[in-house]
């Protein structure tokens, strides 16, 4: 077997209880499902730390072969020119800064990027797109996007663009069933990206790079919770690792 590509995984930072009184412990957390999905696809997952030095982050980006933007809290609406509105959830400004920087660094090196849930949203914002801050208040559709079923259960259908990179991950299928845990979504698709997946109400559920030479792909659902039983979900991880090889 040849060299396994190194895939960087972004994560959320949480305060945890420290054994030292008065000294909070900051920890970056990523679900094992993301890392194990990369592993199953033949890649080597590594969690991106919250570093302060841009040069250090740049050095890390040079060593990475691909980037996986994972799920998490809301993206700061100021990044796409809006004021915060009722329904906006918790923000992670430090994560926004790191992910935006990494997206720019990886794109400058023409390295592949896969976005999942929040990852799709921040990728769209990084390239100049906008978001619905809260679907129940701002979107006309009636489909449930924060499902009550378990995380590994598919609950609604998504129509895929025939011939798209995304459809290829799903063995050429143009209608798939997915899970759903989000209250924000892409509103205007950024330049350089194109919508390639929609729910029954017409909401954008997937985007990919419009330039064939630039490997960018993102989905609003959570394939990390489905790849063990869904070949299409596994195909997303495989496609990222293959593009990074």
**Is there a contact between 71 and 119 (Cβ–Cβ < 8 Å)?**
yes
Copy the structure tokens of residue 167: 């459809």
For 218, the 3-state DSSP assignment is strand
- What lies within 8 Å, CB to CB, of 117 at 6+ separation is 70, 71, 72, 181, 182, 219, 220, 221, 222
Catalytic pick from 92, 99, 117, 205?
117
Exposure letters 126-146 (e unless 16+ CB within 10 A, then b): bbebbbbbbbeebbeeebebe
Exposure letters 148-171 (e unless 16+ CB within 10 A, then b): eeeebebbbebbbbeebbbbebbe
Count the Cβ atoms, other than its own, within 10 Å of residue 37.
30
**Is there a contact between 131 and 187 (Cβ–Cβ < 8 Å)?**
yes
| β-strand partners of 115 | 69, 218
Residue 224 designated active-site: yes
Residue 82 designated active-site: no
Catalytic pick from 92, 99, 205, 224?
224
Detail the DSSP E strand segments found in 53-151: 66-69, 113-116, 131-132
Category of 81 on φ-ψ map: left (φ > 0), alpha (ψ -120 to 50) or beta: left
Residue 62 designated active-site: no
Copy the structure tokens of residue 143: 């489909």
Q: Which residues are annotated as catalytic?
A: 117, 222, 224
């Amino acid at each position: 077997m040849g060299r396994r590509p190194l895939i960087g995984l972004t994560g959320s930072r949480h305060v945890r209880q420290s054994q030292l009184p008065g000294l909070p412990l900051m920890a970056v957390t990523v679900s094992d499902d993301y890392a194990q999905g990369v592993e199953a696809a033949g890649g080597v997952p590594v969690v991106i730390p919250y570093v302060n030095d841009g040069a250090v982050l740049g050095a890390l980006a040079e060593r990475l072969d691909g980037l996986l933007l994972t799920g998490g809290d809301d993206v700061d609406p100021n990044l796409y020119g809006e004021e915060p509105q009722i329904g906006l959830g918790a923000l992670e400004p430090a994560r926004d800064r790191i992910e935006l920087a990494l997206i720019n660094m990886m794109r400058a090196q023409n390295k592949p990027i896969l976005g999942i849930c929040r990852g799709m949203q921040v990728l769209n914002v990084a390239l100049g797109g906008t978001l619905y801050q809260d679907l129940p208040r701002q979107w006309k559709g009636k489909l449930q996007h924060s499902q009550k079923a378990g995380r590994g259960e598919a609950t609604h259908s998504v129509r895929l663009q025939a011939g798209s990179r995304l459809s290829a991950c799903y063995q050429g299928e143009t209608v798939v069933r997915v899970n759903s845990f989000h209250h924000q979504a892409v509103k205007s698709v950024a330049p350089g990206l194109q919508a390639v997946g929609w729910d029954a109400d017409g909401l954008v559920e997937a985007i990919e790079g419009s330039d064939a030479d630039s490997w960018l792909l993102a989905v609003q659902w959570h394939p990390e919770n489905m790849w063990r039983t869904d070949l299409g979900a596994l195909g997303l991880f495989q496609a990222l690792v293959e593009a990074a090889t």
